Amino acid sequence: MFCKGRRQRSASTLRSYKCSSFKKQGAHLVEGSFSDFQSLVDAVKLVDVVICTMSGTHIRSHNIILQLKLVEAIKEAGNVKRFLPSEFVMDVARMGHALEPGRVPFDDKMKVRKAIEDANIPFTYVCGIGFAAYHAGNLCQMGTRTGSSKG
């Protein structure tokens, strides 16, 4: 197993723990960056399956759209047998009725889906439905962990 990560800028205890945990399980860590296309291509050439776990939950972060660069790298590498993009929440194809600002991440994910399908990359979408504990705990106020303290 190979894990791609960006260069560590600061000492993050949680990130260091995750990396060392992956290493103990036999993973090979490969440094790369979405701002360095060739590093993506080089990392993708090492594997058969790409699973993207990039966060895109914060409204208007547009992190999810960065996966378009990964789709291009997979196309260029030409060796990937399966791509699992960062979805993991709900089937965005069924969210056409969503309202702003919550609609933005769904639209971004649909752009990524279209690029994957247009590139004929074998894919699997993992849709686990939204978790009530995630949304109810903050009353759907994205970016917060608990509900508003304002009346």
For helices 67-77 and 103-118, give the axis angle rounded to 10 degrees. 10
In this prediction, residue 123 carries a pLDDT of 95
Measuring CA to CA, which residue among 48, 13, 14, 45 is closest to residue 30? 45
Residues 81, 109, 111, 114: which is the catalytic one? 109
Distances (CA, A) of 25 to 5, 19, 21, 42, 69: 16, 10, 7, 22, 28
Tokens for 16, please give them: 């260091």
Domains of the chain: 32-136 (3.40.50.720)
Interval 64-72 mean pLDDT: 92
Which pLDDT tens digit goes with each residue over 20-48?
788 888 888 787 788 899 999 999 999 99
Mean pLDDT along residues 79-97 = 84
Specify the higher pLDDT residue, 133 or 103: 103
More confident residue, 105 or 75: 75
Q: What is the mean pLDDT of the chain?
A: 78
Q: Which residue has the tokens 């889906």?
A: 113
The pTM score is: 0.73
Phi-psi region of 60 (alpha: psi -120 to 50; beta: other; left: phi over 0): left
Q: How confident is the model at residue 71 (pLDDT cuts 50, 70, 90)?
A: very high
Measured distance CA(119)–CA(104) in Å, rounded: 23
The pLDDT, as a whole number, for residue 75 is 97
What pLDDT is recorded for position 70?
Answer: 94
Cα distance between residue 149 and residue 46, in whole Å: 49
> Is 24 marked active-site?
no
